[in-house]
Amino acid sequence: PFAGRQVLRGLFLFPYVAPVIAVAFTWVFLLDPFAGTINALLLKYGFVHDPIPFLSQRYWPVQFFGLTVQVPLALTMVILFEGWRYFPFAFLFILARLQAIPSELYEAARVDGAGIWASFRFVTLPQVVGILATLFLLRFIWTFNKFDDIFLLTGGAAGTETITIKVYDFAFARANLGQGAAQAVILFAILALFLVVYFRYAPKGEV
């Protein structure tokens, strides 16, 4: 417990409860190569000499110990956006599970001489592994099906195209309903296979 805990929790939840179109357009504005705040700050303080097209360039060369590494720029921005937007979802689940762990388990661990790391490894981690597996399954399915965030950020360009965007492209942009439907069936089969694996190997009592 500490002062301002509820306010801090509310701030953590904001990215998840805010409308996706609002937060996506905010990121688009911040990362804009001509009028964006991020590029303006980078140029002002001399970190770059030219604006960076964060959401429209596939690769960005980065010098690393004399070697040039091609960083997937647009894809990295999409990953950062997804992590920022959906962190609160995992935060709520994990926090609820942590608060449900009986304090007697930690007291018994201390009596047995367990330190912080041992308590985490043998008490906390086994208690949350089930919820972590469930979160992984949900986020895997939702990311596989992701459309709105990526479509608003990049439109699927610069190496960020997902299967759902390809389905939309074939079915509506190209008016090829057959190929769009075929891709949707393939997507369903992949997710169904992953569900079978999850229910087969998930910790008992967590499915």
28 domain-assigned: yes
Whether residue 82 lies inside any domain: the answer is: yes
In a domain, 176, yes or no: no
Q: Residue 200: inside a domain, yes or no?
A: no
SS3 62: strand
CATH code of residue 63? 1.10.3720.10
pLDDT-derived band at 55, boundaries 50, 70, 90: very high
Q: Which two tokens stand for residue 42?
A: 């980078």
Helix (H, G, I), strand (E, B) or coil at 68: strand
pLDDT score for 199: 77
- Cβ(162)–Cβ(76) under 8 Å? no
| Residue 119 CB coordination number (10 Å) | 17
pLDDT, tens digit, 9 for 90 and up, residues 69-115: 898 999 999 999 999 999 998 988 898 899 899 989 888 988 888 88
Q: What does the block give as tokens for 53? A: 């097209």
Averaged confidence pLDDT in the chain: 87
DSSP designation for 104 = H
Domain membership of residue 188 (yes or no) is: no
- Partners of 67 in the beta sheet? 64
d(CA 207, CA 101): 19
Number of structural domains the chain divides into: 1
What is the C-alpha to C-alpha distance for residues 7 and 186, in angstroms, rounded to an integer?
44
Domain range for residue 99? 5-161
What is this structure's pTM? 0.82
Cα–Cα dist 72/62, whole Å: 10
Is residue 189 in a domain?
A: no
Please give the structure tokens belonging to residue 187.
């997507």
Of the listed ranges 21-25, 60-64, 200-204, the least confidently predicted one is 200-204
- Is there a domain that residue 15 lies in? yes
16 pLDDT exceeds 80?
yes
**pLDDT range class, residue 67, cuts 50, 70, 90:** confident
With respect to residue 40, please indicate whether it lies within any of the assigned structural domains. yes
Cα distance between residue 49 and residue 198, in whole Å: 48
